[in-house]
Structure 1
Amino acid sequence: MSGNGLPEVIATDAAQENLAVTIEDGQAGEHLEPTLMGMEPYQWVSIAMLVLLIIAFAGAKVHKTIAGGLDNKIKAIRDNLDEAKALRAEAETLRAEYAAKIAGAEKDAEAMLENAQREADGIVAKAKDDTTAMIARRERMAQDKISAAERQAVDELRARAADASTAAAAKLIAVNHDAAADRALADEVIGQI
């Protein structure tokens, strides 16, 4: 670094000759820019751009190419917009169609639910009727069995009573009746005939 706080610059002899800097009282002087035919570099750049544009537009007809490219790009964008509109219309149609299908499916589901409820009610009612009829049949069968058992018990009781009375009568006859009483009874029966 130099004594004034600025970095040291190494310069060549050619650069030293083209640079005219005057230093007075420790201050830096004016820096001179290179020029060509009295024009600054930015002026030369402007002239070069102007010449390039004149050649491009006049000679190569670049403006037509640029306009054609822009027209093609505009057409492609319009085509894309038209396609997007058509797709949107198709999507809206599909959405409406599916909304109608969903509404129809909901109505069908409600009708199926109502039919299922009616069928379930019918099945429950039939089951109640069948159960009632089965209970009535079983009660009749039980009553018939009870009646049959009562008749059989009565018949068995009568048969036992008849057997017991026959046995008792035979015993009484055997005890109270002898051979003479048998002859008298036989004679009486013969006489009645």
Structure 2
Amino acid sequence: MDHTYEHFWLDPKFWVAVSFVVFFALVGRMAWARLSAMLDGRGARIRAELDEAARLRAEAEEMRRQADAERTAAHREAEDMLARARAEAERVAQAAAAEAEASAKRRERMALDRIAAAEASAVAEVRAAATEVAVTAAREVLAANIDAGADAELIDDAVADLPRALRAA
């Protein structure tokens, strides 16, 4: 059954093709509008995300610069603290050395004073012993050489000499 029509617009296949083209034109236009709107929205979201990423990157770079500056400042402060600690340690070491030297001098002085006191004590003991020996020897010599009459004469001379001795003292 092959039908032939006098004019092509009378053929139902032509109208099916026309309606098919019109349908796809209308649906394609609506689909294109929705697709382009969707793509535009997605592009806007991507642009917003890129802008946000650029802003976050700028903030991160600023934070990195601040962190670098803080790290540099902390490093400088640590070096200053270390230098101050070294200077303080040197000062304390010098003070300790000076104190040790002064303590050694005090101990030396105290030892010399003890030695001098021991010498003075030894000299006093020697003098006391010598005096005691001299007194004992004099007593023995006097006891052996002086009798009662000579003893009375010595006592009279000592009593007579007492006013002169008291004036001299």
Q: How many percent identity over aligned positions?
A: 38
Give 1 or 2 for the bigger CA radius of gyration. 1
Alignment TM-score, normalising by the size of structure 1 = 0.67
Tell me the SS of whatever aligns to 2:123.
helix
The equivalent residue for 2:73 is: 104
Partners of 2:66 and 2:50 lie apart in 1 by: 24
Superposed CA RMSD: 2.7
TM-score (normalised: structure 2): 0.75
Deviation at 1:54, TM superposition (A): 5.2
Distance 1:183 1:79, change over 3 A: closer
Residue identity opposite 1:174 in structure 2: A
Q: Give the corresponding residue for 1:58.
A: 26
Note the C-alpha offset of 1:59: 4.5
Of Structure 1 and Structure 2, the greater helix share is in: 2
CA deviation map 1:80-115 (0-9, x unaligned): 111111111111111111111111111111111111
Equivalent in 104, 108, 116 of residue 135 of structure 1: 104
Q: Any idea what the Cα deviations from partners look like across 1:55-89, whole Å, max 9, x if unmatched?
A: 35505822211111111111111111111111111
User: Displacement of 1:185 after TM fit?
Assistant: 4.1
Q: Which runs of 5+ in 2 are unaligned?
A: 3-15, 162-169
Note the 1:145-156 alignment, pairs <5 A. 145-156=114-125
- Work out the CA distance in 1 between the residues paired with 2:61 and 2:45: 24
The CA distance in 2 between the partners of 1:150 and 1:174, in whole Å, is 35
Q: 1:103 to 1:186 in 2, by over 3 A?
A: closer
Q: Which residue of 1 aligns with 2:91?
A: 122
Instruction: Give the drift of 1:182.
Output: 2.5
Cα distance change on mapping 1:86 and 1:170 into 2, 3 Å: same
Mapping 1:1-193, distance limit 5 Å? 51=20, 55=23, 57-59=25-27, 61-185=30-154, 189=157
Residues matched between the structures, number: 145
The AA in structure 1 aligned to 2:59 is: E
Match of 2:11?
none
